[in-house]
Structure 1
Amino acid sequence: MLQYSRILRLKEEGFSLRSIASSTGNSRQKVTEVIERAERKGLKEPLDEDVTDKWLEEFLFPEKSLKASGRQPIDFDHIHKELAKPNVTLSLLHHEYETECRVNKKIPYSYRSFVRHYSSYANKHKATLRIRRKPGEVMEVDWAGSTAFIIDRDTGEKAKAYIFVATLPCSQLSYAEASLSMNLSAWITAHNHAYSYFGGSTQIVIPDNLKAGVTKHTLRELVLNPTYREMADHYGTVVMPARVGAPKDKPSVEGSVGVISTWIIAALRNTHCFSIEELNREVRGKLEEFNHRSFTRKQGCRFSAFEEEEKFALSPLPEIPYKMSEWRTAKVRPDYHVSVESMFYSVPYEYINRQVEVRLSENLVEIYFNHMRIASHKRLYGKFGQLATTHDHMPDNHKLYVDQTPENAKEWAGSIGGNTLKVIHYLLDSSQTEKLALQSIFSLKKTERRYSKYEIERACKMIISMTARPTVKGIQTLLANNKKSDAELELKRKAESTNNHYGFMRGAAYYGGADTNE
């Protein structure tokens, strides 16, 4: 057997490859291979006393123990990397291995031996075993059964604090956070913080069937809370609650809850915190200790296992964390507004008396009908009864009324003509109040439905020539009289045109007939 420990020790002491090869009686190529494998697997001097050359050989060259059997060696590094990919299983990899053996005319290992050898390799040389859980696939979440507490500074009373736990089953890395309640807001906030702590999201989230996240879960139907479903969509993950009464569907978090109850909650039993922020600082410190504690049966810790074996497989987080939102239902009022927390938000008037869904976030109110957004408004805060009305949501007659301002009136008059603008200026300047003037102008604007701009401008020109105090009533009278006069003139013109349409006509004698006048 090669003197692996001596080769590594001489390399650490600075001897050249030629000197090491001469001293150990091996070729420089073999010495180089041993040193490169040791560096690749992070093995450095000084080694522990119980590390023998046999152990080093199994660690650096695991395939050697398989070659003696005369079977096709297994590339364990390749197997371990492939198992990290979606939908790749040991069964598929064993089938590919068998195919390769047939091509090379080698004897393959049976599936049972294949799995046993991989398990032995992964348990000895890798931080994770990928047979049951793939990296980045699942995050299990739950509330711990035990509670912590904070102390009220004024009364000295203890208030319960609930501990949220999230675990990645592959690496067993966990996240914990204290909250004063277990409501939907605390549940969503804890998920946001867990994703931030892990630095990515998983393909699946497995929660318990708590009411904050799951509305209904039966064999035939699964109904998630809309906010929880929306949060999952934001992070590109799927929520698959554990079956009712089946804790084995999320065994990792169940186990972590028990361990965290000991190493965090019980460890803080004598620590007095006076705010939830202070408690969470203590929880975070204990959590770091927990994640960096060494495994008892294999090398590394939860954090190192995550960094080496799982972090790469997490999906990247969105640029903006999910913002908490709440869904409600409302009925559109006759004034085409919906009432939300005593504030009123408009929707298109066509939806009057319809049932709509309202999504409330911190700064935005969105209104949906049949899963289609029909309106959005900035959320109102402060005094009750405030209105958020969009101009395009109004019926046409309401738009005309709302648009009545002196500036809009002058702009409209300018589009008609100079005489109309003079009338508008007079009405605004001579009226007792601006409101009365705008009402008169509104009546004049409505005449545009029946009369052309030319007719309105002509009537305004006529009334200015007739009086220094024009009125809307006088203009309306002139419009009606002019319309009547124009109609009479048009009839007279048509009659005259008909009478003047004659020519030279020959008598009956011209055609050889009798003249009746003789």
Structure 2
Amino acid sequence: MPARRELTMRQIKQMLRLAHDGVSAREIGRTLGIARSTVQDNLGRATAAGLTWPLDAEVTDAVLEQRLFARAGVKQGMRRLPEPDWPCVIREMRRSGVNLTVLWEEYRETHPDGYGYSRFCDLYREFERRLTPVMRQHHAAGDKVFVDYSGKKIEIVDPTTGIVREAEIFVAVLGASSLTYAEATWTQTLPDWIGAHVRLFRFLGGVPRLVVPDNLKSAVHKASFYDPEINRSYGMMADHYGVGILPARPRKPRDKAKVEAGVRLAQTYILGRLRRQTFFSLAECNAAIATMVERINAHPMRRLGTTRRALFEAIERAALRPLPAEDYAFSEWRLARVNLDYHVEAAGFLYSVPHALIREQVDLRITARTIEVFHRGQRVAAHERRYAGRRHGTDPEHMPSAHRRYAEWSPERFRRWARGIGPETEGLVVAILHDRPHPEQGFRTCLGILRLYRGLDPGRAEAASARAVAIGALTYKSIASILSLGLDRTAPSAEAAPVLLHPNLRGPRYFH
């Protein structure tokens, strides 16, 4: 194969000058933005060609190129093996998750005696060259796990409606062993983000010292180079597992180069190899992803000659911290201020707190089952979370005494009080409550009437109630008037009935 020149002559001259000045190959690579191996290769070529700095005046760029890359331009021999359709290969490479490994495997399925992987790549790069930046970092066992979303989505079809919905792909890679985990979640929101971490730790069977996320909002409330502000709910999850959160620096992808490589690999195995499958549920999709994850971890790594799973079992599993007894239950934290009705709002419903905290700022801890309220670090209220029904969830213990008494009123309770006086009084209470659009609107009327009867002879109270029902006087003032005028002691006048039924009289209901 002809030698391949990727540097300009100006860069090669600068490389020779720096090497002559005693600069190391690593430092030259950093200065020129190239790999150390490239520097060493070109310096070796210069030594073999007898070139030293400073170059002779007759060594022009053309002469320098000829002496360093003597085989450049040598014509390639005839290709005797069947080749793939390269334009089709290039089109497939533009699909999410597809790379040369996937396409080479498919090529070999069609042509078992075809080119090997290395030659296949060489031939492909004649059509399309790609530069892949690399960054080598040393990672101690059990030290870090890098987490991120891939940025590419996987499609899931609703089996009933046929609507296609896209799911996110969460990817995590351990630093030392490169053990990889992936799963699909519907969103990147806080519940899905934290839930993916819980399942990640369960998959690992332990907890590393640090988690290195990107600066998405579910992880970092406020990104900062010096002092990033971690989302509180995310921080509570980290406290539960005893793990530290170390966000990558903003706009510094090399801080999480490990997961960037893991994301590309996961996209190859998940989006590339599963691209022809149709999924009808998130669970079905994750089952297929789990198979691909095991395939990733069981595949030998070329440079190390071992698999990710074997390396994990050998060096990293024992270095992980043990899992807590229970998985973390997702909870969302919010700030709220207590309303004048001593309730706070959470997820569209209202929950009571002790009335002494009116206008105070409190912390809400929201889980799938409970709503907890904290004031200055102390829990002051706990409620079962509501998803339907009445908007208010009120604990009677949180109410002022006067409100508590009012909250205890009910139609049955007023009937019970009235029944203690007599059947006519009970009938009056029933008539009053029935006369109102809502029974609660008659509570105060009933309470006032029962207070009028307090200390009154039961016979007189019964007579007043009977007269009130007979003439339709169902208000507190009407009952008070009957008692003050002594109308309870006289029977209703027979002559008064026609007047009350006269068509010109509107009657009390007209004014309701």
Contact 2:233 2:332 survives alignment (8 Å): yes
Q: Is the counterpart of residue 243 in structure 1 residue 239 in structure 2?
A: no
Contact 2:301 2:307 survives alignment (8 Å): yes
Contact 1:405 1:438 survives alignment (8 Å): no
**Alignment of structure 1 residues 111-510 onto 2, 5 Å:** 132-151=138-157, 153=159, 159-298=165-304, 300-383=306-389, 385-403=390-408, 425-426=420-421, 431=426, 432-433=428-429, 439=447
Contact 2:353 2:380 survives alignment (8 Å): yes
Contact 2:422 2:458 survives alignment (8 Å): no
**Aligned residues: CA RMSD:** 3.7
Could you tell me how far apart the structure 2 residues matched to 1:139 and 1:132 are? 13
In structure 2, do the counterparts of structure 1 residues 156 and 470 end up closer, same or farther at CA, with 3 Å as the change threshold? closer
User: 1:243 offset after TM fit, Å?
Assistant: 0.8
Could you tell me how far apart the structure 2 residues matched to 1:442 and 1:290 are? 80
Code of the residue aligned with 1:340 in structure 2: it is A
Could you tell me how far apart the structure 2 residues matched to 1:310 and 1:469 are? 90
User: 1:433 offset after TM fit, Å?
Assistant: 3.1
**Alignment of structure 1 residues 26-41 onto 2, 5 Å:** none
Could you tell me how far apart the structure 1 residues matched to 2:342 and 2:201 are? 41
Cα deviation code 1:111-156 (max 9, x no counterpart): xxxxxxxxxxxxxxxxxxxx94333221110111433333455776
User: 1:312 offset after TM fit, Å?
Assistant: 2.2
In structure 2, do the counterparts of structure 1 residues 350 and 315 end up closer, same or farther at CA, with 3 Å as the change threshold? same
Larger radius of gyration: 1
Code of the residue aligned with 2:265 in structure 1: it is V
Contact 2:168 2:188 survives alignment (8 Å): yes
Q: Secondary structure of 1:191's match? A: helix
Could you tell me how far apart the structure 1 residues matched to 2:444 and 2:363 are? 41
Contact 1:401 1:442 survives alignment (8 Å): no
In structure 2, do the counterparts of structure 1 residues 157 and 470 end up closer, same or farther at CA, with 3 Å as the change threshold? closer
User: 1:285 offset after TM fit, Å?
Assistant: 0.6
In the alignment, structure 2 segments of 5+ residues that lack a partner are 1-136, 431-442, 463-512
User: 1:298 offset after TM fit, Å?
Assistant: 3.7
Could you tell me how far apart the structure 2 residues matched to 1:381 and 1:270 are? 39
In structure 2, do the counterparts of structure 1 residues 204 and 427 end up closer, same or farther at CA, with 3 Å as the change threshold? farther
In structure 2, do the counterparts of structure 1 residues 425 and 208 end up closer, same or farther at CA, with 3 Å as the change threshold? same
Code of the residue aligned with 1:227 in structure 2: it is S
Could you tell me how far apart the structure 1 residues matched to 2:209 and 2:269 are? 29
Contact 2:157 2:279 survives alignment (8 Å): yes
**TM-score under structure 2 length normalisation:** 0.53
Could you tell me how far apart the structure 2 residues matched to 1:152 and 1:362 are? 25
Code of the residue aligned with 1:197 in structure 2: it is F
Could you tell me how far apart the structure 2 residues matched to 1:467 and 1:263 are? 88
Code of the residue aligned with 2:350 in structure 1: it is F
Contact 2:339 2:359 survives alignment (8 Å): yes
Could you tell me how far apart the structure 2 residues matched to 1:151 and 1:340 are? 33
Contact 1:136 1:202 survives alignment (8 Å): yes
Cα deviation code 1:289-336 (max 9, x no counterpart): 111112334454211222232222322223332222233343322221
Contact 2:419 2:425 survives alignment (8 Å): no
Contact 1:227 1:327 survives alignment (8 Å): yes
Q: Secondary structure of 1:268's match? A: coil
Could you tell me how far apart the structure 1 residues matched to 2:343 and 2:150 are? 44
Q: Secondary structure of 1:175's match? A: strand
Could you tell me how far apart the structure 1 residues matched to 2:197 and 2:362 are? 29
Could you tell me how far apart the structure 2 residues matched to 1:341 and 1:314 are? 37
Contact 1:424 1:441 survives alignment (8 Å): no
Cα deviation code 1:372-421 (max 9, x no counterpart): 432211111213x4321112211122233345689999xxxxxxxxxxx9
Could you tell me how far apart the structure 1 residues matched to 2:381 and 2:399 are? 13
Q: Secondary structure of 1:205's match? A: strand
Q: Secondary structure of 2:296's match? A: helix
Could you tell me how far apart the structure 1 residues matched to 2:154 and 2:197 are? 19
Q: Secondary structure of 2:150's match? A: strand
Could you tell me how far apart the structure 2 residues matched to 1:156 and 1:264 are? 22
Q: Secondary structure of 2:447's match? A: helix
In structure 2, do the counterparts of structure 1 residues 436 and 395 end up closer, same or farther at CA, with 3 Å as the change threshold? closer
Code of the residue aligned with 1:333 in structure 2: it is N
In structure 2, do the counterparts of structure 1 residues 214 and 388 end up closer, same or farther at CA, with 3 Å as the change threshold? same
**TM-score under structure 1 length normalisation:** 0.53
User: 1:214 offset after TM fit, Å?
Assistant: 0.9
Could you tell me how far apart the structure 1 residues matched to 2:313 and 2:424 are? 78
Could you tell me how far apart the structure 2 residues matched to 1:296 and 1:184 are? 37
In structure 2, do the counterparts of structure 1 residues 292 and 148 end up closer, same or farther at CA, with 3 Å as the change threshold? same
In structure 2, do the counterparts of structure 1 residues 154 and 399 end up closer, same or farther at CA, with 3 Å as the change threshold? closer
Code of the residue aligned with 2:447 in structure 1: it is Q
Could you tell me how far apart the structure 2 residues matched to 1:258 and 1:310 are? 23
User: 1:341 offset after TM fit, Å?
Assistant: 3.7
Q: Secondary structure of 2:152's match? A: strand
Aligned-residue sequence identity (percent) comes to 35
User: 1:221 offset after TM fit, Å?
Assistant: 3.0
Q: Secondary structure of 2:333's match? A: strand
Could you tell me how far apart the structure 1 residues matched to 2:243 and 2:367 are? 21
Could you tell me how far apart the structure 2 residues matched to 1:322 and 1:160 are? 27
User: 1:166 offset after TM fit, Å?
Assistant: 0.8
Contact 1:202 1:314 survives alignment (8 Å): yes
In structure 2, do the counterparts of structure 1 residues 296 and 350 end up closer, same or farther at CA, with 3 Å as the change threshold? same
Q: Secondary structure of 1:265's match? A: helix
